[in-house]
Structure 1
Amino acid sequence: MIRFPYGNSDFHSIRTKNMLYLDRTHLISALEQAGQQLLFLRPRRFGKSLLLSTLVNYYDIKLAEEFDSLFGDLAIGKNPTEERNQYLILRWDFSKVSAQGSLEDIKNSLFNHLNAHVEGFIQKYQELLRFPVHIRDEDALASFQSLTNAIQGSGQQLYLLIDAYDNFANEVLVSDPHNSRRYQALLEGEGILKSLFKIIKASASEGKLTRVFITGVSPVVMSDMTSGYNVAKNIYLNPRFNALCGLTQAELESSVTQVLEDCQQTEGYATILETLRLFYNGYRFCTDIKQPCVYNPTLVFYFLQHYQEFCSAPEQLLDSNLSMDANKIRYIADLPGGQSLIAHILDEQQALGVTSLEDRFGVESLRDIPRDQRFMGSLLYYFGVLTITGRSAIGELELNAPNLVIRGLYLEELKRKLLPNTQDSDTMQAAAKAFYQYADLQPLVEFIETRYFAALDNRDYRWSNELTVKTAFLTLLFNDTYYIMDSESALKRRYCDLVMIVRPNMRQYALLDFILEFKYLTLKELQLTAEQVRTHSREVTQQLPAVQAALANATQQLQEYRTILVNKYQEPQRLRCIAVVALGFERLVWEEVRVFDS
């Protein structure tokens, strides 16, 4: 059986315990050639810590005798570089630095972390150091300088690796987006984080520090340090390193095959691959759209480990370890124009277009020009909740949500903004359940008319069309425990507005499949006022010629879509086709389309 390293980012442990390791060591030589001080960005839980651990084990002078056992059967083991096992290693992990409390509290947490690792370094390499290292509890920056002096004086080379360099600074920023004073105090002037990186920069220029490798999520913190550390080479958009972290299609297929063999299942391969593609794939980390997308490894291991144990898919497709990504979306949503941006992202037919990804911007940029799509879209890209899907006719990069898990996070945030009241949430969930089981749209429609539409802020919505209506239904009905929900699904080069297909592992329950087609009529088209629409009964408005024409148009489209889906899933009795017409934002009328079974 495959031993999936879910939650394990320790290279030595993974290799010695015969766990699955995705070999990226062929890129170590390319990393050496890329530069002496490198900055590599990827979203949370994408394998950055394991990458650093791999480098630690490859370069650590104390692990030379274990090289063959750790790397012998890997790509780099067959063709090692001259720098293998040539360094003393110092590694910091800023995700362990607390962002809570005052600036003094944060500084103390950082100093404690730095000093603890300096102490560990001394214990590990003391026989290689000819000079003492002085640790100062009140000034960890001085401790680090004493360490680099001792290393240089001992004729040794130091490799510094910093994991999650921006973690605690980002937490400070995101925790209070309307007051960035604490954040700026860390990074401006003689701020403690800026001071630390100034010393790192100086140590490298003085030859006390040979190599530096830094990982993080976004370039915001690095940009805000300006001259504090402006010597790192950014490699995070380099096509060569697109798959340095992540899971490739070939690796995924091999793992799925093995898991099915472990479960002694001869069917289900294509279904599992399609589920994983829809929910976990879609990440491209360079502007070369010819580079294939990669999968989120943490989510894939979460899924496959569960499948291996129970021979069925997990009910919850969003691993709780990734739920922190919702905070990043919330940060953007709370900025001016953020809600409108999220609504745009949920429109698959109109990708978010940017001329290029911004890679040098700070918090001031976000505050001063928050409505700039390039800045906002770039930040969401670095957070891993947007990805590059193509280029427009004029060469702009097209950004979209990478998969259904991330789309669900956007929808949850939109729901939170529009319906903060707990009672509304309970009412909405009851209406959604009635629809899932019985195709009863009445409770949901009444909720949308009276609560959802009333919550819309015209300043935040550029659309007054069927997209707004579709987004309402998608937001309120999205449930990845029950459904694969795809908006604008491709069906033989045609597109239907919303498809809800019961997940394979849930098809044993009394849940229905749905296709919904939406049409929008303005009050001007209807030659009616909002008051007139509200006073007419639903039955009367449904008989209006314009409404009948819209329903007929939707019915024709649904007939075509239904044939395709019935042929695919072979369950015509489960599938419901519903046409929905919006009369402005005042009234919804609908009709279940009875078409032939095939």
Structure 2
Amino acid sequence: MKKIPYGISNFKIMRKENYLYVDKTKYIQILEDYAPYQFFIRPRRFGKSLFVSMLESYYDINAEKDFEELFGGLYIGKNPTPRRNQYLIFKISFAGIDTSSGEEKLKQSFNFKVMSAAQEFLDKYGGLIHETTLPEEVKSAETAIEYLRRIAKKAEKQVMVLIDEYDNFANELITGGERQTYENLMHGEGLVKAFYKAIKDATMDNFTRLFMTGVSPIMIDDLTSGFNITENLTLKPTLNAMLGFTQHETEEILKLYDIYSQETIEDMKKYYNGYRFSPVAEEYVYNSDMCLYFIKDMAEYKRYPMSMIDNNVKTDYSRVNQLALNFKDSETLETIMTQGQISTVLVERFNLSTMYSKKENFASLLFYLGMLTIKEPFEDMVKLCIPNYVIRTIYWNQFYDILQKELDIQSNTLKTCIRQMRTNGDITSFIEFFKGLVSNLSNRDLIGMNEKGIKMILTTLFGVDGTYMVLSEQENTEGYTDIFLQKKVQYKAYTKYQWILELKYLKESERQRLEEVRERGLSQLKSYAESVKVKQGIKPEELKQALIIVVGKKDVYCGTGN
């Protein structure tokens, strides 16, 4: 049985040590039909580093003897291109650069990264280029590239450049508020700009191919004047499934480990699927790392992990998403969190100086970071939506952190209140908890006191608790339920009751309508409940209903439909 490659991004190790590899090698042919200097964005933990490693193994002139072992049985092994094993590979990842110790330390760290990669290049190809050590006069990233250019040209060898996580350190600087340091590195005679200019100059000689990856287009646009050679392939429909798993690939993996069932694939679809990177792409793809996290536990224990969300994914996405949250666009964020989608122009390039000036840049950045995905084209725009439940949970966690900071929410108390709902069908303690929160919130400018804002708070509270599947705006035959709290597979033994919640908000000036709104809300709940019972197959005695009405800025009323 193939080992599950969770956390592994080294192609050679995967192929030589009997790990599962989902064949993406057909995309080598497709990439070769595009311009030779390529730029490609995908969200975090989507298989970029593994893909770069695969390209290295395929094109490396030193790996020819391993070709059959590495690529035998794969698409490209049966259909190799003329460029197979034709290049010296200069490969570098910009993850791990020190951005926390000031500009000079960062420059030293950047230079060290590049010079170390250059020395590895010499170690690997010394026999072909007749040089094995960087000269003492090579003291910077720029001069290291210039040196490699000269010796490779002298040896009449072509070089392919592979750059992984090109924007990692830049994103750290931006989220950390180090804008001046960023500007110093990118503009004028900045260190990073000089490095990329050296690569551009080398493409006029024997640096004949380049593939670089990252998570956002910010830095590439800031480099444009000195590095205007790359073709952005991010939105190409032919490359939509180059990274991630397709529906067919995911189902085949489950069958391989004998864990396939219709229920399992449907649950994985809710949590990990939903990414589309071109308005005209025909299918959605799964996040590969999220899938492997689930499959690893499922294959070993034949049960779901208690948390369907990998903490590594949660941490990575939360950190990089701070880039977008710097916009402080609460209106757009509220729309996304309450409606699950937003229409916008999809901006392909924006730099730091213009990034925060337009609303469409915010939504576009969320798309590149994997926090939104393309739902469908819409006139000359696109509709972007939250791709899956993992990402929705990350939104909830980030908003909860904001609430927690301002309101000092007692998480254990919240969990106890929701446990009462799950096990006893009693919402009383939760409503009291919510009343206190609304009362404290009323004097702060965190969120609009309206129906959307109230819904945003409630879905966040239930979402971060994590014991219910929180479904918003679920369509049924009678309309849309505001919130449906559905039993999770892994909490079935601990959950007796499921809930539908209807939310209403009245301004203080509308208080006289309270009874009218209450009666209408309870009537809606009754209709929704009948529809939900039919669609979800829930026993009537296990489905609870509650109407929550917020009046003005402090008063909360609750009525139950059963």
Asked if Structure 1 and Structure 2 have the same fold, meaning a TM-score greater than 0.5 normalized by the shorter chain, the answer is yes
How do residues 300-319 of structure 1 correspond to structure 2 at under 5 angstroms?
A: 300-319=291-310
Provide the residue aligned with 1:326 in structure 2: 318
Provide the residue aligned with 2:175 in structure 1: 174
How do residues 307-456 of structure 1 correspond to structure 2 at under 5 angstroms?
A: 307-322=298-313, 323-337=315-329, 339-348=330-339, 351-355=341-345, 357-367=346-356, 369=357, 372-392=358-378, 394-420=379-405, 423-426=408-411, 427-452=413-438, 454-455=440-441
Residues in 1 aligned to 2:61 and 2:52: alpha-carbon distance in whole angstroms: 16
Residues in 2 aligned to 1:484 and 1:451: alpha-carbon distance in whole angstroms: 22
What CA deviation, in whole Å up to 9, does each residue of 1:125-151 have, x standing for no partner?
111114576344632321221111000
Q: Tell me, what secondary structure is at the counterpart of 1:520?
A: strand
> Quick one: structure 1 residues 184 and 456, their matched pair in 2 at CA, closer, same or farther if it must change by over 3 Å?
farther
What CA deviation, in whole Å up to 9, does each residue of 1:44-78 have, x standing for no partner?
11000111111111111111122122212111111
Provide the residue aligned with 2:68 in structure 1: 68
> Quick one: structure 1 residues 131 and 300, their matched pair in 2 at CA, closer, same or farther if it must change by over 3 Å?
closer
Residues in 2 aligned to 1:297 and 1:416: alpha-carbon distance in whole angstroms: 27
Provide the residue aligned with 2:529 in structure 1: 559
> Quick one: structure 1 residues 456 and 141, their matched pair in 2 at CA, closer, same or farther if it must change by over 3 Å?
farther
What CA deviation, in whole Å up to 9, does each residue of 1:358-387 have, x standing for no partner?
1221111124x1xx3210001111111111
8 Å contact kept, 2:501–2:548: yes
Residues in 1 aligned to 2:339 and 2:169: alpha-carbon distance in whole angstroms: 34
How do residues 46-57 of structure 1 correspond to structure 2 at under 5 angstroms?
A: 46-57=46-57
Structure 1 residue 556, shift from structure 2 partner:
3.4
8 Å contact kept, 1:577–1:593: yes
What CA deviation, in whole Å up to 9, does each residue of 1:304-335 have, x standing for no partner?
11111111111112212112211233343343
Of 463, 480, 490, the residue aligned with 1:478 is: 463
Aligned length: 559
Provide the residue aligned with 1:214 in structure 2: 212
Unaligned runs of at least 5 residues, structure 2: none
Unaligned runs of at least 5 residues, structure 1: 262-267, 529-543
Tell whether 2:562 aligns with 1:576.
no
Tell whether 2:160 aligns with 1:146.
no
Q: Tell me, what secondary structure is at the counterpart of 1:507?
A: helix
Higher alpha-carbon deviation: 309-318 or 420-429: 420-429
- Letter aligned with residue 305 of structure 1: K
What CA deviation, in whole Å up to 9, does each residue of 1:180-218 have, x standing for no partner?
11221221111111110011111112x131111101100
Structure 1 residue 511, shift from structure 2 partner:
4.6
Residues in 2 aligned to 1:186 and 1:549: alpha-carbon distance in whole angstroms: 63
> Quick one: structure 1 residues 28 and 299, their matched pair in 2 at CA, closer, same or farther if it must change by over 3 Å?
same
- Letter aligned with residue 336 of structure 1: K
Residues in 2 aligned to 1:377 and 1:310: alpha-carbon distance in whole angstroms: 39
Provide the residue aligned with 2:505 in structure 1: 520
> Quick one: structure 1 residues 273 and 228, their matched pair in 2 at CA, closer, same or farther if it must change by over 3 Å?
same
- Letter aligned with residue 23 of structure 1: D
Q: Tell me, what secondary structure is at the counterpart of 1:95?
A: coil
Residues in 1 aligned to 2:361 and 2:417: alpha-carbon distance in whole angstroms: 38
8 Å contact kept, 1:8–1:14: yes
8 Å contact kept, 2:175–2:326: no
Higher alpha-carbon deviation: 97-106 or 324-333: 324-333
Residues in 1 aligned to 2:242 and 2:537: alpha-carbon distance in whole angstroms: 37
- Letter aligned with residue 197 of structure 2: K
Identical pairs, percent:
30
Provide the residue aligned with 1:282 in structure 2: 274
Higher alpha-carbon deviation: 513-522 or 147-156: 513-522
TM-score (norm 2): 0.94
Residues in 1 aligned to 2:377 and 2:560: alpha-carbon distance in whole angstroms: 38
Residues in 2 aligned to 1:245 and 1:286: alpha-carbon distance in whole angstroms: 13
- Letter aligned with residue 299 of structure 1: M
- Letter aligned with residue 121 of structure 2: F
Provide the residue aligned with 1:246 in structure 2: 244
> Quick one: structure 1 residues 334 and 431, their matched pair in 2 at CA, closer, same or farther if it must change by over 3 Å?
farther
Tell whether 2:160 aligns with 1:159.
yes
What CA deviation, in whole Å up to 9, does each residue of 1:542-572 have, x standing for no partner?
xx5323333333233333333225xx34444
Tell whether 2:309 aligns with 1:295.
no
Provide the residue aligned with 2:516 in structure 1: 546
- Letter aligned with residue 302 of structure 2: C
8 Å contact kept, 2:481–2:502: yes
Provide the residue aligned with 1:197 in structure 2: 196
Q: Tell me, what secondary structure is at the counterpart of 2:409?
A: helix
> Quick one: structure 1 residues 510 and 436, their matched pair in 2 at CA, closer, same or farther if it must change by over 3 Å?
closer
Residues in 1 aligned to 2:75 and 2:409: alpha-carbon distance in whole angstroms: 56
- Letter aligned with residue 509 of structure 1: Y
Structure 1 residue 101, shift from structure 2 partner:
0.8
RMSD across aligned C-alpha pairs, in angstroms? Answer: 2.3
Provide the residue aligned with 1:539 in structure 2: none
Q: Tell me, what secondary structure is at the counterpart of 1:487?
A: strand
Residues in 1 aligned to 2:407 and 2:451: alpha-carbon distance in whole angstroms: 27
- Letter aligned with residue 431 of structure 1: C
Provide the residue aligned with 1:115 in structure 2: 115
> Quick one: structure 1 residues 362 and 200, their matched pair in 2 at CA, closer, same or farther if it must change by over 3 Å?
same
Q: Tell me, what secondary structure is at the counterpart of 1:590?
A: strand
Q: Tell me, what secondary structure is at the counterpart of 2:238?
A: helix
Structure 1 residue 35, shift from structure 2 partner:
1.1
Tell whether 2:528 aligns with 1:592.
no
8 Å contact kept, 2:272–2:290: yes
Q: Tell me, what secondary structure is at the counterpart of 1:190?
A: coil
> Quick one: structure 1 residues 220 and 569, their matched pair in 2 at CA, closer, same or farther if it must change by over 3 Å?
same
8 Å contact kept, 1:419–1:455: no
Residues in 1 aligned to 2:323 and 2:144: alpha-carbon distance in whole angstroms: 36
Higher alpha-carbon deviation: 464-473 or 400-409: 464-473
